[in-house]
Amino acid sequence: MIKIVNFDNCNSTSIDPRVRAFYMRTASEMKYCSPYYGNPASESVKTLIEEARWNVARMLNADPSEIILTSSGTEANNLAVKGTAVANHKKGNHVISTDIEHSSVEYPLKTLSRFDFVIDRIPFEDGIKFNVSGYEQLFKRTLLVSIGYANSEAGFMLPIKTLSLAARERGVPFHTDACSVAGRVKLDVRDIGCDMLSVSAHKFGGPSGVGALFVRRGTRLFPLIEGGQEENGMRGGAYDVCAIAAMGEAARLAAAEMDERTSKIVRVRDMIVRDLNDACPGQIKWVSSGDDLFYHLGFVASGVNSEAAAAKLAQKGILISPASWCVTAAGKPSAALALRGLGLDEAQCYVRICVNYMNTEEEASLLAASLAQYMDSSR
């Protein structure tokens, strides 16, 4: 069996072995994690859920009462966008966002536009820089601003605190999709000033199929899933107790180890950059080398189709992320890559590497050598 070396951690991190063990121990030892779930109001079940909620809240510097547990970051984003629009539709029909949002924000926005909501996109200037004055001029009976904390395709963070505070001054709810950075970057919802923030467990060493939405106390929100009174009526349905508990454990570890993890990621990242530059002189154009989003590496590999390169490395168990499949389908670079100055030809050669704290220096050497070998054979 091929050992998997995951450098596609922007898509999904590997589950932390300690979190996996925690999940399995919970599943095997606790009766209510069998197929016959116990009443979520029972003390033993409630304790696990509330401990997880507390750990997620601590990771964000939030109050546990402000955390809504969801099935994913996608659900959290949908709840923030649609839930806010429905709850506040009498105040206006205007939403502000960007052209580079994750599909779990973009598609809900498109749905709102079908129901006479007006979506305005913030203008950029000089590549990935926001036109802040242009943003401030967009407000008009605005009921929501939803902007992602970072773009993990092109590797840059957005000035979320500045944008959030501008919305707060106007009394407009501000949501940020932080799934790509939560558990990796220190987030403080009090400092950011946001009203809602989405997280997804599988992005920070937890299991897939579970996430959360921070909702500042007093923020008006309409539930997407109605039924029981779980999550104070904001998200009906039986709890996946084991997954929720494991997310809490992943959040606890992330908060406790963030500085240590960052140092390790930077060390492995720099090793990849050095080895690729040494092995492939003149063949690599760095688009993102960790200068902004520290765990993100993105480069154009001259003359190499990134989709083919990713497929070849996957045969060895090495996972990276190409952009060419979506570029080919669309016939143009994505909005995020276009902001980085990439045209169609370069976008088809764009390779993304995302380093995780579980990646080792040995894996970094293997990745660089394998990429260099493939690039040399493709000349």
CA distance linking residue 350 with residue 325, whole number of Å: 11
- Residue in 10, 179, 326, 349 annotated catalytic: 326
CA distance linking residue 311 with residue 378, whole number of Å: 14
DSSP letters spanning 52-93: HHHHHHHHHT--GGGEEEES-HHHHHHHHHHHHHHHTGGG--
Pairing state between β 318-319 and 5-6 = parallel
CA distance linking residue 5 with residue 15, whole number of Å: 13
Q: In 3D, which of 13, 19, 16, 38 has the Cα closest to residue 241?
A: 38
CA distance linking residue 26 with residue 28, whole number of Å: 6
CB 350 within 8 A of CB 323: yes
Pairing state between β 142-146 and 174-177 = parallel
CA distance linking residue 66 with residue 62, whole number of Å: 7
Q: Is residue 309 classed exposed, middle or buried when 0-12, 13-18 and 19+ CB atoms within 10 A define those classes?
A: buried
Name residue 312's amino acid.
K
CB 145 within 8 A of CB 173: yes
Is 194 catalytic? The answer is no
Which are the catalytic amino acids?
326
